[in-house]
Structure 1
């Protein structure tokens, strides 16, 4: 077994060796038998100037390399180290390509030995890492990384990373290694020999199988099912005693009157079978405020309580932070389970069958199969949220995720181990079921019961309910849904299930199936052609109708309905719809015949063949569902729903998305949800408008139920912790053109940043304005002044952008949409919040426009009853980003003078906690701010 690895890192003048970029520093660390045995590092004279960007990144300047050896002088040392070794690097091809070019230019042979890429190996083995940059992995594993972007330090850290990875690889079960082996041939790393040696080594030893479950040639982590306790408990609700216990359990915990009131109100609402709306300001501790009384009530009544959140982060916080604390302070045991929609879970049947399917023999698919084999030895949940999959991996996930359409249920040998069904059984035996709004309202809509039967539910982040219910009782489809389904069925000869069915009839006699498959093979391309033409025509229709609003970014929306019937082009589109529906109908009949013929010979089919046919029937069901959605969206337009298209102005010719949503959801919620539950507790930091809950009770259909309401104030001293400033010399956007407006706000943001030293979150209501301001800001600030992050500009999720923002002292984060809420940046990492414009929904938003029209037709005031309350709630969410703890201080700038100059603007201020408002010229405000910050 070759146990010698040479870990190399190079710093360079750029990233293109073929264009003359050179090495300026090299670090090498030799690892043998998982121990570092040798180190080498040296600066290298590149004989060309080091660019300023590289100097800033690495800290290496021309002076430091002036007297360093040339590469040809260090080449023999490196080549001697590499002899008979693996060449290891973090992103191995980068370092290797540079060295190969340098070796060749120095007159030496290129390296021809085996390679190991620690990025690739980390992707396979460290599935829950936040990212795979060297610094991120060092943080994840607790490896000290003293000098990032210095070759000696990077090589050292990569060596320790390699040792961790090899150690983890050696601990994998023999069977897992054997199942991984076929997928390693497409990897950049030469893993076959390492895995092969481990297989030989492990084959000669008796493995410790403790904690592992071996089944059907796969290795899973063992699990213990939750047993339901059938007895109700005699429990007394005593908030004071419980909060005292809580203060002993939680560090820095302070008893809060608002939290105690919330606990009492939640318990009383459940006991009296009443619904409730509770606005709990930041710092009240609402999670504990509802968890404690709901668990006590549920145990007393011996029935489950459902807790629904909007974000995965809050679900994780409840499960990982709050529930363990409660288990320590409560005098009785209880079970809590997180249950998500089934598409979040891996289907073991599909995954098992995918391992023997080599039709998609590409890098991404092979890598993802190897990742999932490792993951099965570690996961209790089987939940995709645990994985950090690349885009190619996400495509493969769609093939192996659980779904109802192709589930074999009790007939499946994996049923007892199925992650989704395990979760459902755990939920049935749990006292607390934590879910998300999407699944909660899917359960309301679905005929099949998705959640355990429940009578009491807590809805946290309840300000999202209207939007989520609209989504779930709405309908949507798009061009790509249809093309993916047709591809998976097999309109391409080289892939899809039709090809696998042809292979099936070579081994099993299924009379009559071949002519049906031939018919399907003929109908698939015809259906695809008709679908292409329909979606292309819709896109042309939208772009023609919306010429005036087209721009380079994002999607163009077009709301359609009665007025379109007069258009000849619309009539042509409807004729195309008929052809598509007819073609998909014929295809559906042919697809149905396949399963009918196969059912007659079911006893002759093995498990894999039955699974293939189940998947085929599942795709048929999905295609039928999408066909019916298309019919509804284009043939059944009605006045109770809003219908619209979205197209990519600069996208593919048939990139079209179709949507419908109910205009009003209040009656639906009243009849299908609130009337059927004993107690629904809705809570959030933002439910009231001008200290009234009328907007929310009306929108959600609670008017007739007389819900209990409470506005529980935050314990924070906002008047002392927050400065609220409105500059009077920033123009309103309608007073100047957008270019002038952007130039002004970019300059003012720069002025503020110099006072606050960055640590600033800037919230926009428009993606275009964010991009333009980001660009102008970057142009007026020196490169080393501030570190800028822009949503939609810098890659990464909201969580990743927030994490990167926290890493730098003088950082500024430009955000829109999702950054108005749900991000948590306590302490000194954030001391300045800038709100560019009051967050009114654009009036041409299809749903908002339809709701406004309905309100107006009923004699209401759309602005006062809809637009303004929505904007105030969003504004409160944005304001809440700044102060997250009692020790936080900071400043909020609002660049929109309407907040102080209009009557409705004052409604935004009165909806906030008491905080003094300062108006004035920016120069004067900044002088005042500078003094305040120096005293804080």
Structure 2
């Protein structure tokens, strides 16, 4: 099939990503006719400004080569002559063609207007199973030589070879029906002219040779959600047998080091299982806490009728590490049988029913702007075995949330066992596996959701491990509360009824169609009630839009940082008025819908088309109506003493969109955990690297309601890190700087960061508590660091978290600026991170609605809200930040704290005491520079 396409592959090298500020330094291209290379083009471009050192290192382009290069205007003319009117192929067309066209316009030329084809797009469509879609990764998959990567000429050749091999891959693996569907979607999507032409060629070819082509697809997704370990010989083992100096791990791993703390933790967990008690355990970095709870869990489950143990984590990274790394480690060493399931919330799985409905009504359900993202699901859906979207590297569920919502599982649309696609359901399949597993790995979101729905997802269980437990109190406040917004109501209404006369669809329209074709008593009344319900929806949609638009306007006018707390309903008459209107509508809507269920439930199943499915749909609607009504009443008469209530907005391009949101969350979750979770558990183990304060668990126990359990029921254990912090780390506190609120703090702390980076020449991470401060530092340092060949990476500056960390690890002298999410869960061992700068002490923002409300509640109870809440929370966060620096026994580094409150405030000593490394208080900037110079010189 490769002979179908004639094209020019094109690539450029630049001094950066900014079309206006940065320059092109090399252009490479290759002409291919019928799949064979026929002609090439290569030119260096002489830049007007010096090229950064790291760009020269990356591209291996020398100053001599650039000095002999063409002027940009001459290079652009030559390229235009070479390309002609041919199809242009790039890997990331928007960058290459966008950059070139910016330079064409800047030099007085017209833009390139050729049809284009993007191998990045094609990779995302056809290769959703590879790790990522960078040129190097795709080249490696197709075994295309890219040893001279980051040179325009060689990258252009690689792009061409990828396209040729991709054509062979499509012909061998992708059936005609999928390509035909992709063509249908591309024909309706925006900006897909070149892609649609490409797909048309493929479809025409496959139609011609359909009888001659026998495909044996070789597409495999390596992710799995189930492990069944069946050793040939089963042995009863003890904790010592596994972790001891001559134990199973020691025999398997050449450089294994026994850690007594790990053994102590594993012993304690096994004991708590046997005694049916709760355990709080802090395991310092390097203890190996994951294996310390996995091994005793498997031992206990084996010895006790394969009892199910739930393991919950806060982050997806740890969840997948446990399942794909740690459990295989255990199974390789320990001859105990076990089954384990990786289970996620339902919205992570594609719904078979919704997928088929989307296929039938694609043009109705998806806007042209959404169709391009939909294409990245087609091949994945055909070959996935799990239906878990996380295995699809091509699809971004955050950016394309609207598309995913239309095809993913949700509780409202789920018919459960009555769904006609039940036997093919990915979610039900993984849940069945979980029912029969020894270990089920989940996250906190699913644990909390299941807890509030009477264990509907996980079923009955009695043993629970909560890792990364320090996050749970704050997460639970949000998850156990509620938010309502315009999309919630609009999506619900659309699922019932949407469209105009010729193109109506939804549950009520399907019900009406079935009723018209059926013969049953009260048919006319039934149809009349459907029309009444549709009319009520139609007449009231605007009320919801107006309400959430007004909410947005109020927040923008009176709020702070996009939020406005409600402390008195009398201050917000519009809220009371609109909620009253909506509640009245909800009552009318409920009265219209209830007779439909009553009539249909009394109809003979044989007399109504797909009776069971329609009855089940009406049942779900009634449940949704009742649940929403309860929520609306709670908001109309809020309990402001025990709940935080606030309005906020979400970002959206359309300024007129009703983007207001109402949030309502409990201030205390302790009673909720006791009644909904603890009373049903025999043992719960809470663990984290930072869960205690000065080796005491009082703060966490109070927040989580564990202090309400009987004395002695909740055991405690602190396992110290095996690292020698006195030798591996040094903490410097810049006590001479002004206080963070001082107007001179910003400039003086900036200068200290600048000089410290230059003196240390080390990989540096600067952690901030606010984006505002991060942006100020980034804007002030970018040009200077660029000129000095220091790579400056910053959160929120166009590069994702994982890509930024990968880049940071790659270049030893990089500087990374991060906010909240970088204070924890970031693992950068070795020389990539040797200087950690903490910009301010990580106190919660007191004006944040839920924080402010909780502080007021504590004060009203006669408690010192700062000592009870603000300080303990900051100390745990501070320890999390410090934990980014030392990740193994060979790591060394310096922590530089810019906040002088450690010295000037009475509470400062708690911050000094909570870190195990030596703390030094230099008197001047020069002393800090001297300490840094000595440390990094040694």
Alignment partner, residue 482 of structure 2: 475
Tell me, yes or no, if structure 1 residue 299 matches structure 2 residue 288.
no
- Provide the residue aligned with 1:811 in structure 2: 814
Task: Report which stretch shifted further, 168-177 or 20-29.
Answer: 20-29
1:529 aligns with 2:542: yes
Q: 2:577 aligns with which of 569, 575, 578?
A: 575
Give the stretch that moved more between structures: 142-151 or 875-884. 142-151
For structure 1, which segment, 337-346 or 509-518, has the greater mean C-alpha deviation from structure 2 after superposition? 509-518
Aligned pair count reads 903
Give the aligned partner of residue 348 of structure 2: 344
SS in 1 for 2:517: coil
Most deviating of 468-477 and 147-156 = 147-156
Match of 2:285 in 1: 282
Checking the alignment, whether the CA contact within 8 Å between 2:739 and 2:899 is kept in structure 1 is yes
Q: Which moved more, 1:428-437 or 1:923-932?
A: 923-932
Give deviations 1:651-675, integer Å, cap 9, x for gaps: 7574322222222222222233223
Q: Is 2:917 the partner of 1:921? A: no
Three-state SS of the structure 1 residue aligned to 2:209 is helix
* Equivalence for 1:168: 169
Given candidates 635, 648, 662, the residue that maps to 2:637 is 635
Q: What is the CA distance between 1:339 and its match in structure 2? A: 0.9
Could you report, residue by residue, the CA deviation over 1:458-492 in whole angstroms, capped at 9, with x for unpaired residues?
A: 11101112123222321221233233434454455
User: How far did 1:246 drift?
Assistant: 1.4
- Measured in 1, the distance between the counterparts of 2:325 and 2:676 equals 33
| 1:8 positional shift | 1.6
Question: 1:532 offset after TM fit, Å?
Answer: 3.1
Distance in structure 2 (CA, Å) of the matches to 1:851 and 1:9: 58
Whole-Å Cα distance in 1 between the matches of residues 495 and 767 of structure 2? 41
**Which secondary structure does the structure 1 equivalent of 2:686 belong to?**
strand
User: Hey, what's the Cα distance between the residues in 2 that align with 1:459 and 1:841?
Assistant: 23
| Deviates further, 860-869 or 166-175 | 166-175
The answer for the alignment partner of 1:750 in structure 2 is 754
Secondary structure of the residue aligned to 2:722 is: coil
Write the mapping of 1:215-226 to structure 2, written as runs, cut at 5 A. none
1:303-702 matched pairs, under 5 angstroms: 303-357=307-361, 358-360=363-365, 362-387=367-392, 388-390=394-396, 393-447=400-454, 449-490=456-497, 493=500, 498=505, 508-509=516-517, 511-512=523-524, 515-516=528-529, 518-542=531-555, 546=559, 550=560, 554-561=561-568, 564-565=569-570, 567=571, 570-591=572-593, 600=603, 622=624, 625-647=627-649, 654-702=658-706
Q: Hey, what does 1:217 align to over in structure 2?
A: none
Cα offsets for 1:596-619 (capped at 9, x unmatched): 677759757777x98799778757
Query: Any idea what SS the aligned residue of 1:688 has?
Result: coil
Unmatched segments (≥5 aa) in structure 2: none
Q: Is the 8 A contact 1:364 1:393 kept in 2?
A: no
- How far apart are the structure 1 equivalents of 2:838 and 2:112? 56
Matches within 5 A, 1:95-134: 115-128=116-129, 132-134=133-135
Shift of 1:629: 2.1
SS at match of 2:543: helix
* Deviates further, 198-207 or 886-895: 198-207
Which of 492-501 and 874-883 deviates more?
492-501
For 2:475, what is the secondary structure of its paired residue?
A: helix
Does structure 2 conserve the Cα–Cα contact (< 8 Å) formed by 1:555 and 1:649?
no
Alpha-carbon distance change, 93 to 572 in structure 1, aligned in 2, over 3 angstroms: closer
Q: Are 2:767 and 1:763 equivalent residues in the alignment?
A: yes
- Where do 1:189-268 residues align within 5 Å? 189=195, 190=197, 191-208=199-216, 235-243=236-244, 244-250=247-253, 252-268=255-271
Please say if residues 563 and 646 of structure 2, whose CA atoms lie closer than 8 Å, have aligned partners that are also in contact.
no
Q: Is the partner of 1:64 in helix, strand or coil?
A: coil
2:298·2:336 contact (CA, 8 Å) conserved in 1? no
Cα distance between partner residues in 1 of 2:734 and 2:886: 21
Secondary structure of the residue that 2:641 maps to in structure 1?
A: coil
Q: 1:741 to 1:780 in 2, by over 3 A?
A: farther
In 2, Cα distance between equivalents of 1:61 and 1:878 = 44
Q: Give per-residue Cα distances to partners, 1:337-372, cap 9 Å, x unaligned.
A: 011111111101110121111314644543344332
> C-alpha distance in 1, partners of 2:614/2:154?
51
Q: Deviations over 1:606-655 (max 9, x none)?
A: 77x98799778757754654443233123233522222222479975743
Distance in structure 2 (CA, Å) of the matches to 1:924 and 1:211 = 60
Q: Which residue in 2 is equivalent to 1:215?
A: none
Q: Specify whether residues 603 and 785 from structure 1 end up closer, same or farther in structure 2 by C-alpha distance, changes over 3 A only.
A: farther
Mapped partners of 2:469, 2:657: distance in 1: 39
Instruction: Indicate how the Cα distance of structure 1 residues 670 and 634 shifts in structure 2: closer, same or farther if over 3 A, else same.
Output: same
Partner secondary structure for residue 893 of structure 1 = strand
> Relative to structure 2, which stretch is displaced further, 634-643 or 768-777?
634-643
Cα shift readout 1:227-250 (whole Å, capped 9, x = no counterpart): 899xx9883424244443213334
1:632–1:162: structure 2 CA closer, same or farther, 3 Å change rule? Answer: same
Are residues 1:40 and 2:43 paired? no
Structure 2 CA distance for aligned equivalents of residues 448 and 677 of structure 1: 12
Comparing 241-250 and 923-932, the one that deviates more: 241-250
Question: Retained in 1: the 8 A contact 2:418–2:613?
Answer: no
CA-CA distance at 1:159 after TM superposition: 2.5
Work out the CA distance in 1 between the residues paired with 2:21 and 2:471: 55
CA change 1:320–1:899 in 2 (3 A) is same
Pair 702,496 (structure 1): closer, same or farther in 2 beyond 3 Å: farther
3-state SS, counterpart of residue 920 of structure 1: coil
Q: SS at 1:864's partner residue?
A: helix
618-627 vs 870-879, which moves further: 618-627
Deviation at 1:15, TM superposition (A): 12
Gaps of 5+ in 1: 213-219
CA distance in 1, matches of 2:109, 2:745: 59
SS in 2 for 1:65: coil
Q: Over aligned residue pairs, what C-alpha RMSD do you find?
A: 4.2
Q: Are the equivalent residues in 1 in contact too, given 2:10–2:30 (CA < 8 A)? A: no
- CA distance in 2 between counterparts of 1:597 and 1:71 reads 73
Instruction: Kindly state the Cα deviation for residue 556 of structure 1 after the two structures are TM-superposed.
Output: 2.5
1:441 counterpart SS class: helix
1:725 counterpart = 2:729? no
Question: Matches of 1:475 and 1:18 in 2, distance apart?
Answer: 43
Give the secondary-structure state (helix, strand or coil) at the position aligned to 1:773: helix
The Cα of 1:450 is off from its aligned counterpart by 1.1
Instruction: Find 2:721's aligned residue among 702, 714, 717.
Output: 714
Q: Distance in 2 between matches of 1:168 and 1:645?
A: 51
SS at match of 1:728: coil
- Native 8 Å contact 1:44 1:68 kept in 2: no
